[in-house]
C-alpha cells in the first residue's frame, strides 16, 4: 500500500448467476455483484478499490484496507433495529447484513474511515443502535423513492448543518439524486444528523469524533462528488503517519 493509492474496500451483494445470463447448469451458482460506478468513483478520487466478498473475516479486512465504502442495496432486516418484519418487505440478505455490520464495527475499532451510501448510510446508523423509517412512499419527481428518472438526475435539495463535515464538503446545500424508500429515524449512539431534505427526511449522518460519513443519495452516479475525495484523502492520511 502507498500513500498515492489507499486501498478502499467496497461491499456488494450476492445473487445467483441466473442474473448474468449464464448457461442453465450454472443458474444456481452464487454470484457476487458489484456495481462498477462505486469502484470508478474511488479510482477517480485516487484510491485503489478492492471488492469484498461477504464471507471475508471483518477483522482481517479492517487490518488490510485503508478505508471502507458500504454500497447501496436492499433493505436491512428490521430485526436489527427492533422493527416488525412487515415494516420492510424488501429484505432477506442476512449474510450481507451480518458482514457489513461487522465491518463497520471493526473499522471503527481500527480508527479507519467509512463512507456509507444509501443503504450504507442506514447500515451505519443501525450498527450504532439507531432505527430507520421503514417505508417512504414511492412517487415521481422530487419523491425520495422515485424510480422513473436517470440515475444522475438531481431531483431535490439537501441542506446541511453549518460546521458539519457534510457542510465542509458540499457547502450549505446541494441538489441530489434520490432512490431510497427508507431513511434514518432515531440516530444511533454517537450518530449526528447533518443534512436534511426540505421535507425533513434525513439525508446525511456523521459519527462524533470518527471519520464516518453516510449520505442517502447516490453520488457514484454523478459526474463527481466530494465524498469520495474525502474517503480517499482520509484513508491516505492513515498510511502516511
Local confidence band at 1 (pLDDT 50, 70, 90 cut-offs): very low
- CA dist list (Å): 199 to 36, 138, 158, 203: 31, 15, 10, 11
Per the residue annotation, which of 100, 118, 144, 181 is the catalytic one?
A: 118
> What span, in angstroms and rounded, lies between the C-alpha atoms of 82 and 190?
19
- Interacting residues of 225 by C-beta distance below 8 A, sequence separation 6+: 41, 219
C-alpha cell at position 203: 439525508
Q: What is the pLDDT of residues 149-165, one digit of tens each?
A: 788 888 899 999 999 99
Say whether 218 is catalytic. yes
Q: Computed over its alpha carbons, how large is the radius of gyration of the chain?
A: 17
pLDDT at 142 (0 to 100): 61
> What span, in angstroms and rounded, lies between the C-alpha atoms of 126 and 86?
18
Say whether 118 is catalytic. yes
Q: What is the pLDDT of residues 49-103, one digit of tens each?
A: 999 999 999 999 999 999 999 999 999 999 999 888 776 666 768 999 999 999 9
Amino acid at each position: 500500500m502507498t500513500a498515492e493509492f489507499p486501498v478502499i474496500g467496497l461491499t456488494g451483494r450476492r445473487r445467483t448467476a441466473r442474473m448474468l445470463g449464464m448457461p442453465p447448469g450454472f443458474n444456481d451458482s452464487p454470484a457476487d455483484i458489484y456495481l462498477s460506478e462505486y469502484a470508478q468513483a474511488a479510482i477517480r478520487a485516487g484510491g485503489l478499490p478492492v471488492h469484498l466478498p461477504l464471507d471475508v473475516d471483518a477483522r482481517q479486512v479492517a487490518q488490510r484496507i485503508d478505508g471502507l465504502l458500504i454500497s447501496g442495496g436492499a433493505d436491512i432486516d428490521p430485526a436489527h433495529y427492533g422493527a416488525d418484519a412487515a415494516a420492510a418487505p424488501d429484505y432477506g440478505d442476512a449474510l450481507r447484513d451480518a458482514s457489513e455490520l461487522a465491518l463497520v464495527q471493526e473499522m471503527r475499532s481500527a480508527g479507519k474511515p467509512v463512507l456509507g451510501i444509501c443503504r450504507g448510510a442506514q447500515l451505519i446508523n443501525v450498527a450504532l443502535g439507531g432505527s430507520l423509517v421503514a417505508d417512504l412512499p414511492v412517487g415521481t419527481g422530487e419523491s425520495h423513492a422515485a424510480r422513473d428518472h436517470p440515475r444522475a438526475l438531481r431531483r431535490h435539495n439537501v441542506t446541511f448543518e453549518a460546521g458539519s463535515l457534510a457542510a465542509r464538503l458540499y457547502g450549505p446545500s446541494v441538489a441530489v439524486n434520490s432512490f431510497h424508500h427508507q431513511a434514518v429515524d432515531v440516530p444511533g449512539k454517537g450518530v449526528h444528523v447533518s443534512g436534511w431534505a426540505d421535507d425533513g427526511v434525513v439525508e446525511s449522518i456523521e459519527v462524533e469524533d470518527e471519520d464516518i460519513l453516510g449520505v442517502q443519495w447516490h453520488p457514484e452516479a454523478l459526474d463527481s462528488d466530494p465524498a469520495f475525495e474525502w474517503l480517499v484523502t482520509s484513508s491516505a492520511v492513515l498510511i502516511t503517519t
